[in-house]
Amino acid sequence: MTREFGVGIIGCGNISGAYFKLIPLYRNLKLVACADINPAASKARSEEFGVPAQEIAALLANPAVDVVVNLTVPEAHFPVSKQALEAGKHVYSEKPFVLTLEQGEELRRIADARGLKVGSAPDTYLGGAHQFARHLIDSGRVGKIMSGTAHVLGPGMESWHPNPDFFFAPGGGPILDMGPYYVNNLVNLVGPVKRVVALANKAREERTIGNGPRAGEKVPVIVATNIHAVLEFESGAQISLMTSWDVWAHRHQNMELYGTDGAIFVPDPNFFGGTVEVAGMDREPKAVEVWDHPLTAKNYTFDWGTQANYRGVGLSDMMEAVATGRDYRCSLERSLHTIDVLTAILRSAEEGRAIDIVTTCTQPAALGIAEARALLRDDVAAPAVEAAAE
Ligand SMILES: NC(=O)c1ccc[n+]([C@@H]2O[C@H](COP(=O)([O-])OP(=O)(O)OC[C@H]3O[C@@H](n4cnc5c(N)ncnc54)[C@H](O)[C@@H]3O)[C@@H](O)[C@H]2O)c1
């Protein structure tokens, strides 16, 4: 491992707690500052985690900050990332990376001109379970993947998130909010996408906030909340993806991929761990003993259970690439390809036609056991993160 890079977080809301807790797991990362447009939010995180809070402009001028982690709401991702690049900082953004291809291309131009790197979550596909699925597919266990299904279905986010407005505004909706986990993992497992076709609707015009100080307040639903898409991959595979926040109950698997010699059942791409099942020509799905990958260990307690959570591994991998010049997995190319696929799905539903994907990318390199372990600090070999329920 090379050197330690200073990390400045901009956006100290709900998900920032996970980043404050998990960034310290990585050998090459050190939290040095945080900021928010709402100073009360950064002050609260600063007091909770002992990381100095600054005004946004001061954080961007702070020489100890090498990389800005952009955890603002989707519509602020582009302007905040752009500002950070213009201040000479590398950028790693939460998803969705940007809302249009033009925004992504503009970030690319600024970053290239300044020799900076830009990356984006989700990095959950680097988790041990998904890397194990990748390993099984790469080793030919189920033959060539030719079709499959993926489902991310639920009633929506307004019951738990205290400020759920952005989920139902442009940049939100289940395809842009949850789709990145699925498309990133499909690119990891199957490769880039060539063409999409989709239909979409919404079940309700408004949602009622169920948690926090605004409980009972209504939020308008501007975007589609129920989207059926079919993705055609450059490999020839055709995989259907259904994302919906209009579903109270269902019995679909998160992800099933069908190969010429079998089928593989992939756990929830929103998480790092889980059980991988495989069936051969015997047609009997069986759990496969997951390897001893460090990004599989359950280390993080949510209020509903304990899960493997290694958010920040994509950032650590990107900063290792800054140090060594190698490719990084959550790269601008791949992040922009995901946005291309997701926005094309929405456009296909609006226009009633198939849409060709104009970007492409290479499949990210698999993240094996040794390389994943090298990103983590030594004392994380048996992970034990003190994670308050959230
Ligand atoms: N909450 C989750 O569980 C979760 C999980 C994964 C990813 N994400 C993604 O992370 C991002 C943030 O989600 P969240 O749930 O933390 O939202 P949030 O609304 O709780 O927090 C966002 C924070 O960003 C700040 N902010 C907004 N605009 C800003 C700007 N221009 N400059 C500086 N700060 C600004 C807000 O004041 C707020 O504190 C979203 O893109 C979301 O999709 C959230």
Please compute, for residue 264, the number of CA atoms within 13 A of its CA located in the half-sphere on the CB side.
31
Of residues 2 and 135, the one with the higher pLDDT is 135
% of the chain at pLDDT higher than 90: 93
**Beta carbon of 156 within 6 Å of any ligand 1 atom:** no
Q: What is the CATH number of the domain that holds 223?
A: 3.30.360.10
Count of all residues that appear for the chain in the document: 390
Does pTM top 0.85 for this prediction? Answer: yes
- Residue 381: per-residue pLDDT: 54
SS3 per residue for 290-352: CCCCHHHCCCEEECCEEECCCCCHHHHHHHHHHHHCCCCCCEHHHHHHHHHHHHHHHHHHHHC
Domain span at residue 284 reads: 130-291
- Residues 241-300 pLDDT 10s: 999 999 999 999 999 999 999 999 999 999 999 999 999 999 999 998 768 899 999 999
In a domain, 55, yes or no: no
Overall number of domains in the chain: 1
User: Token digits for 90?
Assistant: 């590398």
Q: How far apart are CA 240 and CA 223, in angstroms?
A: 21
In this predicted structure, the answer to whether residue 95 has a pLDDT above a threshold of 80 is: yes
Q: Is residue 327 one of the residues assigned to a domain? A: no
Closest Cα partner for 375 from 23, 22, 10, 26? Answer: 26
Atom from ligand 1 closest to the CA of residue 166: 19
Q: What is the mean pLDDT of residues 362-369?
A: 97
- Say what the pLDDT of residue 382 is: 44
Convert the pLDDT of each residue in 323-334 to its tens digit. 999 999 999 999
For 145, the 3-state DSSP assignment is strand
176-219 per-position pLDDT tens digit = 999 999 999 999 999 999 999 999 999 999 999 999 999 999 99
Average pLDDT (50-74) is: 98
Sign of CA pseudo-dihedral 68, 70, 76, 82: positive
Ligand 1 pocket test, candidate residues 9, 38, 73, most atoms within 8 A of CB: 73
The percentage of the chain sitting over the pLDDT mark of 70, rounded to a whole number, equals 97
Whether the pLDDT of residue 358 is over 80: the answer is: yes
Q: How far is the CA of 14 from the centre of ligand 1 (A)?
A: 6
Ligand 1 close to Cβ of residue 72 (< 6 A): yes
- Tell me the average pLDDT across 73-84: 97
Q: Is 73 in the pocket of ligand 1 (CB under 6 A)?
A: yes
Please give the pLDDT value at position 384.
38
Mean pLDDT of the chain: 95
